[in-house]
Structures are given as structure tokens and as C-alpha cells.
Amino acid sequence: MIRLKNSCRTRHKKVRSFGLLLVLGALLGSCAGQRQPGIGGDGQPIRAFKDTDQGTFSVRWASIPHPIPINEPFELVLEVLGPDVNPLLEADGWMPGHGHGMVRTPRVTPLEDGSMGERRFLVKGMLFHMEGAWELRIAIAWRHEQGDTFSIQRENVVFEVEI
């Protein structure tokens, strides 16, 4: 397996001049900025990638709008670095202090790969209906083949968000 963690891959894909992607690029900041947490020119924090629990993938995110509003729908852009598998993503919110999650099931749309070869996803239907400490829980599942059998692998990464 190729491990691609916190490294800027050199593979450049042709990115169509697709308005959304430009916005996303701006939202997530440049690759060079990723190790230094701070605020980018667009007001979004420049985020670091975080590894999934087994270390197979690295994930980072940005919200639209930023910061995440209380009790209003928002969208997420997720970027995933990792081996060349076909990952399925699930995004969910959880309030560890309250023992409940979101009142919605968000939907994920794959976007075109980014310039570092990172996979990009748009998550619609997020809603944090209460203020307080939330966990943004991302699960990545994929099909792992061995000979003519396969299993479904699943790894998680959790980001803490205070709204």
C-alpha cells in the first residue's frame, strides 16, 4: 500500500475550471500552509490533515459557511489522502456530552480529485442543531480484496468542533 500522509504529492490532475473547486481550493488553503494552523485569506482556518484510527488515510475538512452556524444547514468539503482504493465516505455529527447525534443523515458527493491527488468530497445536509461540543465523525469504508474474496474495511477519524 502506498502511504500518503501529510505530504504534498506531485501528481497534478487537470482541474476543470469548475467554480466550486476554486472555492474549495481557497477554503482549504494551500498545501504549503497545511502544517501551520492559522487563518487563511478567506477567513477559513488552514487545517491540518488528521490520520484515521488505523493510519491508512489522512483527512481534512472545511465548512461552508465558516464558521459552522448554530442550527442552520451547512456543507463540508472533505479531502482524503490515502491508497488508491475506492473509498466510501460517511460524515456524521455527535455530541459526546449529550449522547446524541444529528437529526439528519447527510449525503456525500464525490468531487474531482485535487491537485495533490487528494480525493475530494462534498457533504450536504449537515446540521448542528444545538450549541456545545460536537464531534465531526468521518468514516471511510472500502473493499479489500484477497484472492477471490473480499472484505469491507472501515476506518474512522474524529474532529472536535465547538460551536
Partner 1 sequence: MRLAASLAILTAAGGLASFGLWPNSPGPEWQALRAQFSDQQWARIIRTAELPTPNDSTNGVFHDEAAFVLGRALFYETRLSGNGEVSCASCHDPALDWSDGKALAEGLEEIDRHTPSLWNSALNRWQFWDGRADSLWSQALQPIEHPKEMGGSREEVAKLVLNDPELRALYTDAFGSAPEQMDEPNNVERVFVQVGKALAAFEGRILTPVTPFDQFVSGLQTGDPEDLAALDPLAVEGAGLFFGEARCHLCHHGPLLSDMEFHDIELPRAGAPEPARHGGVAKLLTDPFNGRGQHSDDVEAGRERLAYLNRAPHQRGEWKTPGLRNVARTAPYMHNGAYASLDEVLAHYSTLSDAPARSHSDTQRVLEPGHFSDSELQALKAFLQALSSPPPHPSLLPVNPKS
Write out the residues near partner 1 by the rule CB under 8 A.
Answer: 70-71, 97-100, 102-107, 124-125, 127, 129-132
Smallest gap from Cβ 112 to partner 1, in A, equals: 23
Q: Is 130 exposed, middle or buried (0-12, 13-18, 19+ CB in 10 A)?
A: middle
- Are 119 and 87 in contact by the 8 Å Cβ rule? The answer is yes
For residues 143 and 152, the answer to whether their CB atoms sit within 8 Å is: yes
- 80 within 8 A of 119, measured Cβ to Cβ: yes
Closest to partner 1 by CB, 109 vs 151, is 109
In the complex, minimum distance from the CB of residue 93 to partner 1, in angstroms, rounded to a whole number:
12
**Between 22 and 70, CB nearer to partner 1:** 70
Residues forming a β-bridge with 51: 58
**Residue type at 18 in one-letter notation:** F
Residue 126 CB, shortest distance to partner 1, in Å, is 8
How far is Cα 101 from Cα 103, in angstroms, rounded to an integer?
7
CB of 63 to partner 1, least distance (A): 16
The residue (of 53 and 72) whose beta carbon lies closer to partner 1 is 72
Q: Which is nearer to partner 1, 81 or 126 (CB)?
A: 126
